[in-house]
């Protein structure tokens, strides 16, 4: 969740470092009525990121060489792939054409909106300034909406302080607190809003925990204040009983959880299939570690931000995608850059298209890659209200 209690503000940093880093700051953000867990120096892309030959018959274009950014042979951006953009008036943005089309059903809001990825679409809430007098206090619940993938308008889900994805596509978990309650220690009340807006019976959460995601094995919960050494845990609301705990969670979906176990010289990422109990190990190259991750909508792939040393201009990183069934890693072409160039990444459409945004000294670029492709589609986006608040995952 920042992916999956996702992105704060109008920007969408990488999905799960958002959640892991920001869940400790959840209190300040949520106090504004909607909380989601969820840069620009550069390291020039190297020749190693540009060596992939063009397949015969492909329609490729080459970005002009420059001091930074993704260069070399690239594909044209698909005209059917659009990204939601937050802001005072949310819109769908097409990187291929540069056109923005408004999303209906959302009133203008000067503080903007917060988006979080859920099955089959997005959860949306209006942003609000947190109360200055109370650090960690819940404020009044605000309306939440559901936006289906590619839909022209939203549907109302219900009021909430926190929103998280449910295990069912198109459904949300809406959590509310008593106004002024300290969410580090208080127990929230959660209800699942179905695709038609129907609410289930309320569930009282364990004190000090918030929902990360609904799964086929119950709710994945994370401590709001994130005390040192604490882990996320699976929790069965019907039995009010905690199950397995996971330290270092970097991604979650209705069917799977990915996490970083403690490591030394060589690290890996573990993936648990919650439906079958099958475990997969994604072995990382020596010296690499996974900073964040995001499952594809169908659950077949896990995108990872791998950090692997210092380039002299910040920590180097590479986006790689693991096949969940085998654990095999594939590097995303052209994404070896300084970590502070990466704005965010995710799977913002129903298909398996990984999208990443990079801020370089002279340009902002969007890259889209489909597993199995020999190169990425790349678009340079011009500054503008919509482009400054793109939501990726």
Residue by residue, what is the 3-state secondary structure of 128-182? CCCCCCCCCECCCCEEEEEEECCCCECEEEEEECEEEECCCCCCEEEEECCCCCE
Which residues are paired to 35 by β-bridges? 162
Q: Are 307 and 317 in contact (CB under 8 A)?
A: yes
Distance of alpha carbon 106 from alpha carbon 113, whole angstroms = 9
pLDDT digit string, tens, across residues 318-357: 999 999 999 999 999 988 888 888 999 999 988 899 999 9
| Cα separations in angstroms, 273 against 64, 173, 256, 281, 329 | 43, 21, 5, 11, 18
Instruction: State the Cα–Cα distance between residues 142 and 135, nearest whole angstrom.
Output: 19
Report the CATH architecture of 15-38+42-389: 7 Propeller (2.130)
- CA–CA separation, 386 and 384 (whole Å): 6
Where exactly are the structural domains of the chain?
A: 15-38+42-389
Give the pLDDT band (50/70/90) at residue 129. Answer: low
pTM of the predicted model over 0.85: no
pLDDT digits (tens, 9 = 90+) for 70-110: 877 788 898 889 999 998 899 999 999 889 999 999 998 88
Which band of pLDDT confidence, cut at 50, 70 and 90, is reported for residue 228? low
Confidence of residue 198 (pLDDT cuts 50, 70, 90): confident
Q: Residue 62 pLDDT more than 80?
A: no
Which run of H or E residues covers position 18? Answer: helix 15-22
pLDDT the model gives residue 22: 35
What would the pLDDT profile of 325-334 be if each residue is shown by its tens digit?
Answer: 999 999 999 8
Intra-chain end-to-end CA distance of the chain, in Å:
8
Q: What angle do CA 228, 232, 233 make, to 5 degrees?
A: 135
Share of the chain above pLDDT 70, in %: 77
Query: pLDDT tier at 57 (50, 70, 90 boundaries)?
Result: very low
Statement: residue 281 has pLDDT above 90: yes
pLDDT of residue 264: 76
Residues 6+ apart with CB under 8 A from 25: none
* Predicted local distance difference test score (pLDDT) of residue 32: 39
Pairing of strands 162-165, 364-369: unpaired
Give the C-alpha separation, 133 to 136, whole Å: 10
**Which has more confidence, 74 or 130?**
74
DSSP-assigned letter for residue 313: S
In whole angstroms, give the CA distance from residue 393 to residue 389.
12
- Whether pLDDT at 184 is above 60: yes
Express each pLDDT in 3-37 by its tens digit.
333 333 333 343 443 443 333 333 333 333 333 33
- Mean of per-residue pLDDT scores for the chain: 79
User: CA-to-CA distance for 205 and 374, rounded, in angstroms?
Assistant: 46
- Token representation of residue 295: 């499952």
């Amino acid at each position: 969740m920042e992916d999956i209690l996702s992105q704060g503000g109008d920007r969408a940093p990488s999905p799960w470092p958002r959640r892991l880093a920001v869940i400790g700051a959840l209190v300040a953000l949520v106090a504004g009525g909607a909380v989601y867990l969820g840069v620009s120096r550069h390291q020039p892309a190297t020749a190693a990121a540009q060596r992939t030959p063009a397949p015969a018959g492909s329609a490729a274009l080459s970005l002009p060489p420059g001091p930074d950014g993704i260069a070399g042979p690239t594909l044209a951006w698909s005209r059917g792939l659009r990204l939601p953009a937050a802001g005072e008036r949310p819109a769908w943005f097409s990187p291929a054409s540069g056109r923005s089309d408004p999303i209906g059903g959302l009133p203008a809001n000067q503080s903007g909106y917060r988006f979080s990825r859920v099955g089959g679409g997005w959860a949306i809430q209006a942003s609000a300034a947190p109360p200055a007098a109370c650090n960690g206090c819940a404020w009044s619940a605000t309306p939440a909406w559901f936006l289906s993938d590619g839909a022209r308008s939203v549907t109302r889900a219900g009021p909430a302080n926190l929103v998280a994805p449910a295990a069912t596509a198109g459904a949300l978990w809406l959590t509310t607190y008593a106004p002024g309650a300290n969410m580090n220690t208080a127990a929230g009340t959660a209800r699942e809003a179905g695709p038609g807006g129907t609410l289930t019976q309320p569930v009282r959460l364990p004190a000090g925990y918030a929902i990360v995601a609904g799964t086929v094995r119950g709710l994945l919960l994370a401590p709001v204040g994130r005390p040192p050494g604490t882990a996320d845990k699976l929790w069965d609301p019907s039995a009010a009983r905690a199950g397995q705990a996971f330290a270092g969670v970097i991604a979650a979906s209705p069917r799977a959880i990915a996490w970083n176990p403690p490591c030394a010289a060589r690290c890996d990422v573990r993936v648990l299939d919650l439906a079958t109990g099958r475990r997969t190990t994604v072995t990382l190259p020596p010296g690499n570690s996974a900073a964040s991750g995001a499952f594809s909508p169908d659950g077949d792939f896990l995108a990872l931000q791998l950090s692997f040393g210092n380039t002299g201009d910040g920590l180097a990183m590479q986006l790689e995608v693991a096949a969940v069934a085998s654990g095999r890693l594939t590097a995303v072409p052209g994404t070896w850059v300084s970590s502070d160039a990466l704005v965010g990444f995710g799977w913002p459409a129903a298909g398996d298209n990984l999208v990443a945004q990079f801020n370089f000294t002279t340009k902002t670029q969007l890259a889209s890659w489909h597993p199995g492709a020999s190169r990425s589609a790349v678009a340079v986006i011009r500054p503008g209200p919509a482009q400054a608040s793109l939501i990726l995952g």
